């Protein structure tokens, strides 16, 4: 019964897991696949889940690793496509974009750590201690990465605000 409860607890946070995977992978389809892969992995490693003191942190950490693996494979296979996409995204297009799209794009260009920490804190509302458990970083490293991400987004939003109301 205890085992089932643990797995049910992970299934209950599927929306949260999907959002985290989506932030890291930048694709809803790939995020959905990653969540399914996570469930399979957790079912395989039931013992590890049962022994872990914090089930949710264990699941998010496993998901993070799955996403990083997927990103590595993707970068190797589509390195040229990524370069082309970056080149084609000019500033003129950016000015015409909706503010949410601009923030999403800025987030997608952040380093993986900052992206993940922003998602965990500002979207999912995790405590710093939990973020440390998931990422394996110290509290000060988490705060530094979060501050950088927040400030970058703040500057982008203020610039956009100034552009709209000048």
Partner 1 sequence: MSTNDIDKLLDKFFDAETTLEEEKTLKSYFESGCETKHEKFKAYFEFAHKESLIVYTERKQKPILMNKYFKYASVAALILISATLVFIYNANQKSKEQLRTTENAIRFVCFQVNQAQEEMEPMRLVNSSFKELEKLNELEKTQDILLKQLRIIQNATTN
Q: How far is the CB of 58 from partner 1 (least distance, A)?
A: 19
Considering only 55, 74, 105, 160, the residue that binds partner 1 (CB under 8 A) is: 160
DSSP string, 17-75: HHHHHHHHHS-HHHHHHHHHHHHHHHHHTHHHHHH-S-HHHHHHHHHHHHHHHHHHHHH
Does 65 sit near partner 1 (CB under 8 A)? no
Q: How far is the CB of 71 from partner 1 (least distance, A)?
A: 18
Residue 50 or 128: which CB sits closer to partner 1? Answer: 128
Number of Cβ within 10 Å of residue 27's Cβ equals 14
Length of the chain: 166
- Contact present, 94 and 102 (Cβ < 8 Å): yes
25 part of the interface to partner 1, by CB under 8 A: no
3-state percent breakdown (helix, strand, coil) of the chain, nearest 5: 85, 0, 15
> Using CB under 8 A, which of the segments 1-9, 61-69, 89-97, 121-129 binds partner 1?
121-129
- Binding residue for partner 1, selected from 78, 89, 161, 163, defined by CB under 8 A: 161
Residue 71 tokens read as 């990103």
User: CA torsion sign, 54 to 150 to 76 to 85?
Assistant: positive
Residue of the chain from 71, 103, 105, 112 that contacts partner 1 (CB under 8 A): 103
Q: Does 22 bind partner 1 (CB under 8 A)?
A: yes
Q: Which of residues 74-93 bind partner 1 (CB under 8 A)?
A: none
For residues 37 and 83, is the Cβ–Cβ distance under 8 A? no
- Residue count at the site for partner 1 (CB under 8 A)? 35
List contacts with partner 1 (CB under 8 A): 14-15, 17-19, 22, 28-29, 32-33, 35-36, 99-100, 103, 121-125, 127, 142-144, 146-147, 150-151, 153-154, 157-158, 160-162
């Amino acid at each position: 019964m205890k085992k089932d409860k643990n797995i049910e607890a992970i299934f209950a946070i599927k929306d949260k897991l999907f959002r985290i995977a989506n932030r890291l992978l930048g694709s809803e389809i790939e995020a959905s696949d990653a969540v399914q892969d996570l469930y399979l992995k957790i079912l395989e490693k039931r013992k590890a889940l049962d022994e872990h003191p914090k089930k949710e942190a264990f699941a998010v950490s496993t998901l993070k690793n799955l996403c990083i693996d997927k990103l590595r494979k993707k970068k190797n296979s589509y390195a040229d496509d990524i370069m082309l996409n970056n080149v084609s995204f000019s500033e003129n297009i950016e000015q015409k974009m909706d503010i949410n799209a601009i923030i999403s794009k800025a987030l997608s260009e952040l380093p993986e750590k900052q992206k993940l920490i922003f998602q965990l804190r500002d979207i999912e509302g995790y405590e710093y201690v939990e973020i440390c458990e998931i990422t394996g970083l110290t509290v000060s490293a988490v705060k530094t990465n979060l501050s950088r991400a927040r400030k970058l987004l703040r500057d982008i939003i203020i610039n956009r605000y100034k552009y709209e109301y000048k």
